[in-house]
Amino acid sequence: MRIKNWTLPYFITYILVWFTKQGYFRRVYKQGLSNIPKNKPVIFAANHQNSLIDPIVIATTKFSPVFFLTKSDVFRKPAIAKILFSLNMLPIYRERDGADFMEKNKAIFDRCSEILSTNGRIIIFPEGSHNTQNRLRNLKKGIARIALQANAETEEDIWIVPVGLNYSNTRNKAADLLVSYGNAINASKIFSSNLDSSKENEIISPLMQEIELGLRNEMLDYSQEKYYDLYDFLITKVKRPRQTLINKFKWNKFKNSKLTNYFSTHTDETDVMLASVNEINEICEIQDLRPYLFDKRQHSLILPIIGLILGFPLALYGFINSYIPSIIPQKLILDKIKDRQYDSSINMVLGGFLMFFFWCVQSFVVSLFTDHYIWLWYFLSCVISRWFSYEYLIYYLRFKGKRNYNSFVKSNPEKATKFQSYYADLKQFIYNL
């Protein structure tokens, strides 16, 4: 594997996942790109919410090769390990991986130093594992140890850039994603100010504190775990006007900070609100509803029905042309995996590759029986109709939710009024906070 140059498998994969990423998310916004040092050794320290998607998002930010540290489990088979190494992935070992895990990690740390010595870039997730919650978990010290070793073996200063990955939804397609690059941390400068210490912990602790602070600044962090559902409801489930991603993120961060302060000083009122949120979430799960529906006493279904009728032909065309590649990940992999945190990663990576492959095959078949670049128009129609069919599905699910809500209001008017009151109070609280 070469360090400075692109490997062919990495280049091909980069191009494919870049296009897949663009089609998978509804809106993507990146801020703070100027904070990434140029022609310097850089370690990206990111929160880890979305398994395989997280490194893809960071790696495709700029057109330059990046290396990843990932769990060693996936490297067990030699053939697969060879492929992963060609994609710039490096295994990190844990105690359960065997008695020699420290010795193996030493070799990986040496490899990281070698990469950084050539002004390379490495992605590390200091939380150590992925979790879909908007909450920064305890950080592992491996990132600081890698930086410390590289600092001793490299003439250039080692820089660490905190990266906040903020998803509106970590499981489904067409979500929003804001990637926030924080101010670069000069790890070498921090180490130099603690050279008198003989204990490793005293040397790396100041750096870990800077990394933690940097990450908290760039992501949503529902720091009071007891009230996680209340944070989530007030910030993400209360209906508000559509905003740009950056304005939405600023609003979320501001309200997140205000909520944390409020929860600390108004425990009784917070517990009452949490009870209301739990009741709303429970009835939504039972009745297959979404909380924002309680913003109105009843929802009109006339326009949604007209939209469903008019859009059905194109949606059906898109569904037929994309059925096989869209169903393969679900039937072959997702139905056999209990951990739902992998859903979005598999759908994006495998589903995107399969979709592109099948459309190419189908377009080739069309080219055998047509002239005048009809195959190209067919390929483009597959892309457009696939996008439309998914938007149509979302539109239908919203219609279904409104229909269920109207039925619930009609059959349970007293309960509906109570939940509408709960929702109105919660909405007024977060807007006025």
User: Greatest CA span in the chain, whole angstroms?
Assistant: 77
Two tokens, residue 122 = 């490495």
Same domain, 199 and 251: no
CA distances from 260 to 220, 230, 250, 251, 254 (A): 12, 11, 16, 14, 10
Whether 204 and 234 map to the same domain: the answer is: no
Bridge partners, 89 (sequence order): 68
**Among all chains, which residue has been given the structure tokens 């320290």?**
45
Q: Please measure the distance between the N-terminal and C-terminal CA atoms of the chain and give it in whole angstroms.
A: 54
Query: Which among 199, 221, 243 is the end of a domain?
Result: 221
Indicate if the pLDDT at residue 343 is higher than 70: no
For the ranges 218-232, 313-327, 341-355, the lowest mean pLDDT is seen at 341-355
Same domain, 31 and 105: yes
Number of domains in the chain: 2
Per the domain annotation, does 121 fall within a domain?
Answer: yes
Residues of the chain with pLDDT > 70, as a percent, come to 93
Strands (E), 47-120: 67-71, 89-92
- Residues 234, 266: one domain? yes
Dump pLDDT digits (tens) for 103-156. 888 888 899 999 999 899 999 999 988 888 899 999 999 899 999 999 988 888
Cα angle: 294, vertex 296, 299; to 5 degrees = 105
Backbone angles phi, psi at 122, to 5 degrees: -130, 140
Q: Model confidence over 270-321: pLDDT tens digits?
A: 999 999 999 999 999 999 999 999 999 999 999 999 999 999 999 999 999 9
Query: 152 with 241, same domain?
Result: no
**How would residue 3 be classed by pLDDT, with cut points 50, 70 and 90?**
very low
Give the model's pLDDT for residue 49.
Answer: 87
| 391 and 253 belong to one structural domain | yes
Condensed to tens digits (0 to 9), the pLDDT of residues 38-55 reads 999 999 999 998 877 888
CB distance 91 to 13 below 8 Å = no
Whether residue 2 lies inside any domain: the answer is no
Residue ending a domain, among 189, 221, 253, is: 221
Parent domain of 341: 229-433
Ramachandran angles phi, psi of 6, nearest 5°: -80, 140
Residues 273 and 174 in one domain: no
Confidence class for position 329, pLDDT limits 50, 70, 90? low
Banded pLDDT at 340 (limits 50, 70, 90): low
Instruction: Identify whether the C-beta of residue 161 lies closer than 8 Å to the C-beta of residue 173.
Output: no
Task: Mark whether 284 and 200 lie in a shared domain.
Answer: no
Q: Taking residues 323-352, what's their average pLDDT? A: 68
How many residues are there in the chain?
Answer: 433
Other Cβ atoms less than 10 A from the Cβ of 242: the count is: 6
Residue whose token pair is 């129609």:
381
pLDDT at 313: 96
Claim to verify: residue 310 and residue 189 sit in the same structural domain = no
CATH number of the domain that residue 188 is part of: 3.40.1130.10
Same domain (yes/no): 63, 194: yes
What is the per-residue pLDDT for 424?
96
